[in-house]
Chain A
């Protein structure tokens, strides 16, 4: 009896040593050493089964809820969603205020190796001679207390104002975009080098009567790295707008359909992309995000894709895989975030702890922060 008690005590103490490092859970139990989420899942499931079958008392086989919560609150969002349904008593964990507070605290305070050592660029517009000039500063420090003006020369003609595409740099490279002129530059701040992208050959795809009668409009939706071909790629959407019609004819017109293009740095050339996917039609800086060789953007209105395919429209996140040129649509239901139903002042996509975050700012001064995992 005494021996049994001692054993139970040691199980409890050891389970409390659970920690998470580099995405792996190290959970020491009396019998086994858990190295992965799969191990934790199977351990939780088998404990649950045993508990149901009443083979053994719950105390020495099941992981107590508070300990399990403490472990689960340290998982990446995607893994946590998998575990959410393991125990009936937990579900839905995402509606448990106590658990979510714990989870959110860990979520924003855990170190994120993806961006270890990263700083920020602050781009500021000034109007020294009645025309806009853009100045860059680097911002660094734990409390962003250090700001240094970054020596930078605008690569575009006439120093025209530009946008910085996406959430941040991709392997140290930043894509600058001059929206009005449809010009793009890759910028490597560490070496201060620029690479102006060559003009797209889209004119060669287009019949002359389209060129005469319509404005060609380009929206950037993707920029990122593809490790399969060791290449950097830029993905714009091009359509033909009737200058006399205030509404852009995004679905195309009787003359010509819109098209997707892709630029490859390796070949320094453009080609038409054989894919039919929703575009963002959005030039708001930060409404596009790149993570792990996938480009993501928000589609806030039906600019033709849903109508064309006869599907009811829902605001969505579109994810485009650079390696195989396949896309996925993830709807954003209004009961999760109604930022598309009402006028929001601002929206931005971000990468946070390996998941995609959508942050919205409402007119009544509230921010909402939802994450895709």
Chain B
């Protein structure tokens, strides 16, 4: 099923990456840099961007969260 997959991007080398920590909704790749600061790679402009804040991260993880206030059964226990 080779035709099922399409290679879209090959990025790098990015020597400052210490540890990737997740992917955003537009394919942004989040990672921790060698200097322990969080950063992300913007696929649309092919650039590394800083996150603009500092956080002590030795082990991190990025997850997507889309709020829904719809009530649903079962969770209100």
Could you say which residues of chain B place their CB within 8 Å of the CB of A117? 66-67
CB-based nearest A residue for B18 = A345
Q: Number of residue pairs across A and B with beta carbons under 8 Å? A: 225
CB-based nearest B residue for A145 = B52
Report A140-175 residues with CB < 8 Å from chain B CB.
143-145, 147, 163-164, 166-169, 171-174
A232 at the B interface (CB under 8 A):
yes
Could you say which residues of chain B place their CB within 8 Å of the CB of A168? 63-66
Select one of A108, A122, A139, A166 contacting B26, CB under 8 A.
A108
A372 at the B interface (CB under 8 A):
yes
B23 engages A348 (CB within 8 Å):
yes
B63 engages A107 (CB within 8 Å):
no
Instruction: Give Cα distance in the complex from A194 to B74, angstroms.
Output: 10
B6 engages A169 (CB within 8 Å):
no
Report B40-77 residues with CB < 8 Å from chain A CB.
40-41, 43-44, 49, 51-53, 55-70, 72-77
Given A112-B25, A348-B20, decide whether A124 and B60 contact each other with a Cβ distance below 8 A: yes
Select one of A81, A125, A265, A359 contacting B60, CB under 8 A.
A125
CB-based nearest A residue for B53 = A147
CB-based nearest B residue for A166 = B63
A228 at the B interface (CB under 8 A):
no
A86 at the B interface (CB under 8 A):
no
Select one of B9, B15, B64, B72 contacting A115, CB under 8 A.
B64
Q: Count of chain A residues with Cβ under 8 Å from any Cβ of B?
A: 83
B49 engages A365 (CB within 8 Å):
no
Could you say which residues of chain B place their CB within 8 Å of the CB of A34? none
Q: Count of chain B residues with Cβ under 8 Å from any Cβ of A?
A: 57
Could you say which residues of chain B place their CB within 8 Å of the CB of A189? 65, 67
Write the A178-205 contact mask toward B (1 if CB under 8 angstroms, else 0). 0000000010111101110000000000
CB-based nearest A residue for B52 = A145
CB-based nearest B residue for A171 = B68
Nearest CB of chain B from residue A357's CB, rounded to whole Å: 6
Instruction: Give Cα distance in the complex from A367 to B30, angstroms.
Output: 12
CB-based nearest A residue for B69 = A190
Write the A110-152 contact mask toward B (1 if CB under 8 angstroms, else 0). 0010110111111111110000000001110001110100000
Given A112-B26, A350-B23, A369-B7, decide whether A286 and B61 contact each other with a Cβ distance below 8 A: yes
Binding stretch for chain B, among A64-72, A207-215, A253-261, A328-336: A328-336
Select one of A126, A164, A169, A350 contacting B27, CB under 8 A.
A350
Report B1-49 residues with CB < 8 Å from chain A CB.
1-15, 17, 19-20, 22-27, 29-30, 38, 40-41, 43-44, 49
Nearest CB of chain B from residue A16's CB, rounded to whole Å: 24
Q: Can you report 13 residue pairs joining A to B where beta carbons are below 8 Å apart? A: A108-B26, A108-B44, A123-B62, A139-B51, A145-B51, A145-B52, A147-B55, A167-B64, A172-B67, A286-B63, A361-B17, A366-B10, A370-B5
